[in-house]
Amino acid sequence: MSCKCKVCGKQFEYGDKNSPCLVDKKWRKIVNFYNLRNYEIKANKLYSAVDPWLNENFVDKDEYHLYICSDCMEKALGRKILKSDLITTSAKTEGLWYFNKEFEEYYFK
């Protein structure tokens, strides 16, 4: 699925080396840095209202998601992304860690 960074407009593929999933605390810091909290709330409401089993095309709509590329994430953090910033396997995030696999292989080699 093709995504577009809400900050710089960079195009990338969901789950590739440009789009790591971060722990909530770091993600919120980035969202607040770019003043995108209201956009994120609106996108989450739209996303939550759609049943993906009935409408498989919803995931391709930018207004249903907030995407920020790794370059813009680093700018907001004021530093390089660390492994400790990434979501890992836990009961809460089970299934999300695999989105970071390509990023980790590329970024931390």
pLDDT in tens, 10-49: 998 877 888 898 999 999 999 999 999 998 988 888 777 7
pLDDT in tens, 65-102: 889 999 999 999 999 999 999 987 664 556 666 778 88
pTM over 0.75: yes
- Measured CA to CA in angstroms, residue 98 lies from 6, 9, 41, 68, 95 at distances of 23, 24, 25, 18, 6
Q: Name, in order, each residue with C-beta under 8 angstroms of 63's C-beta and a sequence gap of 6 or more.
A: 42, 43, 46
